[in-house]
Structure 1
């Protein structure tokens, strides 16, 4: 159970920082209103850093189902513990979002735009395009898991690793996050989206469940493929699963390209 509560608390910390900065930047009449994407990216990175510092020595601080799946796919984490970790991460995301709601309690009523309020809890695309949005989430999470494995393969002092992981999140946010808001973490999106659905937020509107599968499926695919790609290319452990995933990912990219060419 210490592993369960560790992942729950680590993910909760991540959402308090991450959801908190989005609320501060976007909700009306906060002192940080309008501070912009750079501040959001930095705070999300520091949120990950704090989550890793908090529970890294207890659980390894996955705080992300995509990371758990990616590590399990290459034998770095036991599959038997995957359900425990993912359920803890989802619950942690849900609780973190509720804390953000209460922290910004008077600002929900002052904010009239429904999409702005939903954006505090969950991600959404800049340009809705199902396949392109899915691919964006796959790429972002692929880079995340690859980056984590790169960091783990190098020798850093133990206290420095969480900060380097946070810098990786900042880099992903600044470079790849502008398309879908870079969920790259199903617990970061689904848990808070459920909180948005349940909480009595004034004038909140709908929770956009038609999009909700993308920030779950995309990171799951990207996380698993990131782990398999690292094993195949950098450790020369290519398996049939890797080639099947590679074929599937290439098919997605080719389909997306074909769709864009048809539109042109």
Structure 2
């Protein structure tokens, strides 16, 4: 909306992010498991599916990747950003008017939150809780998961659902690296207080909130979903009727086993 001087809308943002996440998972899934989100990495570590010694290196790589992504976007569109600033009489990116172009890269809370950082934090906790919950449900083979390598696309749709439902409050970062990396880049490029500390000191909320939401989602899915699926699978297995093997082929197989046992005993006696 900023670059095209008002063209576009919220749907463009939501679906742009959704397909970006889906394609990123397709690209990196076979290499690193597509851990493009520190909250997801933490969730897998808490669940026991990822080694703790790799968590911090992954977080560093994720932030670096998002920083690089912000740099690519900036250097591709910096003329459009400058044109918008000129058209809207924004003298400095560090001014309050610079918050609009800053929103291309990182997030900030809606004005109706005022200075209530607790409510902003709650928004991020809830949104990331659902993200991690959806991811676990999609990749769980015991659940009703998608087939034909559709999991990355479904994860993208999950991001879209969160954006449509919870996006307008704080910009649905739901990913500490996705916000902190570009925020750091913007600070270096002159957005100043719009980046750090951000409106009402908001900069830490998209880091802490998603990590808390991810941790809650791990234990919720384990207690409420995984255990139910395991119990159901065990009960179904116990209820399956045992099939008796009959027929000439089965009898011949049993006879051969008996002959083999006799032969083994005779060989042992000869020795």
TM-score range, shorter chain: 0.7 to 0.9
* Pairs aligned (count): 208
Runs of 4+ in 1 over 6 A off after TM superposition: none
Match for residue 170 of structure 1? Answer: 160
Q: 3-state DSSP class of the match of 2:170?
A: coil
CA offsets per residue over residues 104-152 of structure 1, 9 Å max, x none?
1212222233111211121111133201100000000000000000001
C-alpha displacement at 1:206, in angstroms? 3.4
Equivalent-residue separation in structure 1 for 2:148 and 2:195 (angstroms) = 40
Tell whether 2:95 aligns with 1:122.
Answer: no
Tell whether 2:63 aligns with 1:90.
Answer: yes
Q: If the length of structure 1 is used for normalisation, what is the TM-score?
A: 0.75
Equivalent-residue separation in structure 2 for 1:156 and 1:142 (angstroms) = 21
Equivalent-residue separation in structure 1 for 2:193 and 2:40 (angstroms) = 32
Residue correspondence of structure 1 range 80-229 to structure 2 within 5 A? 80-110=53-83, 111=85, 112=90, 113-126=97-110, 127-128=113-114, 129-153=116-140, 154-199=144-189, 206-209=194-197, 210-229=201-220
Q: Which runs of 5+ in 1 are unaligned?
A: 1-24, 238-264
Q: In structure 2, which of residues 19, 33, 50 is the aligned counterpart of residue 46 of structure 1?
A: 19
Q: Which runs of 5+ in 2 are unaligned?
A: 91-96, 229-271
Equivalent-residue separation in structure 2 for 1:59 and 1:52 (angstroms) = 9
C-alpha displacement at 1:71, in angstroms? 1.2
Equivalent-residue separation in structure 1 for 2:217 and 2:121 (angstroms) = 15
C-alpha displacement at 1:44, in angstroms? 0.3
Equivalent-residue separation in structure 1 for 2:105 and 2:79 (angstroms) = 16
CA offsets per residue over residues 154-181 of structure 1, 9 Å max, x none?
3423521111111000000001111110
Equivalent-residue separation in structure 2 for 1:78 and 1:135 (angstroms) = 28
CA contact (8 A) 1:52 1:162 kept: yes
Equivalent-residue separation in structure 2 for 1:223 and 1:34 (angstroms) = 35
Match for residue 235 of structure 1? Answer: 226
Q: 3-state DSSP class of the match of 2:20?
A: helix
CA offsets per residue over residues 4-40 of structure 1, 9 Å max, x none?
xxxxxxxxxxxxxxxxxxxxx223xx2x743111110
CA contact (8 A) 2:38 2:62 kept: yes
Equivalent-residue separation in structure 1 for 2:26 and 2:67 (angstroms) = 20
Match for residue 55 of structure 1? Answer: 28
CA contact (8 A) 2:106 2:180 kept: yes
Give the 3 Å change call, closer, same or farther, for CA 75–158 of structure 1 in structure 2.
farther
Equivalent-residue separation in structure 2 for 1:168 and 1:216 (angstroms) = 20
